[in-house]
Chains A and B, each alone.
Chain A
Amino acid sequence: MSIAKNDFVVLTGLSGCGKTTFCRCLNGLIPNFYAGQLKGELKINDVDVKGKSTAELATHVGFVFQNPENQLFSLSVERDVAFGLENLGIERELAIERVNWAMEVTGISQLRNKAPYELSGGQQQRAAIAGVLAMRPELIVLDEPTSFLDPKTAEEILKVISRLNREFGLTTLLVEHRLDTVSAYANRVIVMDKGKIVLDGPPEIVYDAPARLIGIGLPKVTTLFHLLKRDGIPVTINPITVTQASEALRRISEN
């Protein structure tokens, strides 16, 4: 499997299917920190992940976890965002520039002097993303980054991620169960089952195989159209957003 630059990939599958394990291979947590046997070849921009330390890989692959509290620990947002760069020993001027940029694109510049625990959940997750961005990775991996957030805040975070993907060409791998919220942003969905990739393609095509997606939380509009099709209503598309579903229903009701 390969992921192209600029791709926005949603990785999904039943709980325990290997999604998180796969992601841990991308930044060397496997095999560096978790015991086990890793076979095959894994390259990021032609750099072989094997034999590289997780610290070296951090400039290529950024990780954002479910709970931002697990990721933030400094006394100010700015220190937190700068932490990775300081560890790399990057020149001060350049570091400041990158930290400022990362805080700006995630919309937290005004929070730079706040302590992470003073922030709301959404602001914390933005700070965690900023810390990763400051390292200028080519790939960002987000493991259910919005599950601790209220739906409105979750939407804002997804918009930030989508903008980074579109405007800065940041390749994005988003692990998610709730396909309702993320499908509209993705150009590709990968479904895993029992440690293997079973489906891979644009969302509207992957979601066309309901029999192979049992247990996967498809967007409700997609499920609705699967059911209507079964009922004999002449639906021709697999909507992934409310707007698409709404336009399709209007066409059906008028003809």
Chain B
Amino acid sequence: MISVEHVSFHYPGSSETLHDISLKIDDGEFVAIMGENGAGKTTLVKLFNGLLKPDSGSVLVDNVNSRDRSVAELSRQVGLIFQNPDHQLFAETVGEELRFSLKNFGFEESVIKNRVTSLLTALDIEKYVNASPFMLSGGERKRVALASILVWDPKHVIMDEPTIGQDYLQKDRLRNFIIQLISQKKAVIVVTHDTEFIAECNPRVVLMSKGKIIADGPAKSILTDQTVVEEASLVLPQMTQLMMSIPELHAPDDIIDVYAARKFLLQALTERAETRRESR
């Protein structure tokens, strides 16, 4: 469990980036942190793995205060995948990139081999095992960065903008992969602007604006709340916009994804057609 209590933080020489944030994330929970550029999302998640320490308040990871742990210890427990994979990748081959941390942690060669192979396969990059990460596409490099963290099996996983540069097929894989991670009782925290991806996953959404949490709840209720969505510089999911644009159909107000919209419309349009037939 990750627990943040009354945390404030500022970078040297600038005004406060986070103001009095409190948040609890359970094991096995999938949380999306969303909000405008500069809202403090990335700063917040850097507190989770100890890269930053709060000015005041406390960050507890599995009941241990982040101040009592080194970054090395904490980051083994909380894996953070950066937004820009180029800040993370350095090895000559994709395979080496994944083996690097495992070798440092002193894993046996047979374990290393198994883990590397299974992650490369799960993220659809096994064919690049001997390629240089820098020859890959942006989307592929992001998956290598993800694999290189997951390979040491951190207890919790944070992904900063994981869908950038990913096509729909890869996003679908990513979604299934996240479901797998939460079924292993890991907390998965995703920082993202990708409203449509979140609408399809329907996780818990924490909305941030100007260093504060302005809303927290299921995606279905947060992403359909026009006031907070606008405050956080997001846009409503397309399906929500569509349902709001035809009020005469009286759609439920929590539709965010295509399948819910389809189900509702199928029923509503069929009923209307029947009513008209009867009245003729």
Contact = CB atoms under 8 A, between A and B. Distances in A.
B238 A16 contact: no
A153 B137 contact: no
Interface in B259-280: 261-262, 265-266, 268-269, 272
Contact of B169 (A14, A152, A242): A14
A31 to B, nearest CB: 16
Given A15-B140, A150-B35, A151-B195, A231 B266 contact: yes
Nearest to A230: B262
A242 B245 contact: yes
Interface string A64-98: 00110000000000000000000000000000000
Contact of A153 (B37, B140, B167, B268): B37
Contacts of B165: 15, 66, 144, 147, 177
Contacts of B233: 150-153
Contacts of A122: 37
Contacts of B272: 253
B262 A231 contact: yes
Given A15-B137, A16-B137, A66-B138, A215 B169 contact: yes
B235 interface: yes
Given A144-B165, A215-B167, A224 B239 contact: yes
A223 B265 CA distance: 14
B266 A121 contact: no
B212 interface: no
A242 B238 contact: yes
Given A148-B164, A217-B167, A250 B246 contact: yes
B167 A216 contact: yes
B166 A144 contact: no
Interface residues on A, range: 35 or more
A158 B16 CA distance: 31
B202 interface: no
B196 A220 contact: yes
Nearest to B170: A15
B38 interface: yes
A220 B237 contact: yes
Contacts of A153: 36-37, 233
A120 B258 CA distance: 33
Contacts of A121: 37-38
A170 B122 CA distance: 42
Interface string B75-106: 00000000110000000000000000000000
B112 interface: no
A220 B165 CA distance: 18
Contacts of B38: 120-121
A245 B83 CA distance: 34
B203 interface: no
A219 interface: yes
Interface in A24-39: none
A30 to B, nearest CB: 13
A217 B233 CA distance: 22
A249 B164 CA distance: 32
A177 B37 contact: no
A209 interface: no
Pick from B84, B171, B265 the residue with the most CB of A within 10 Å. Answer: B265
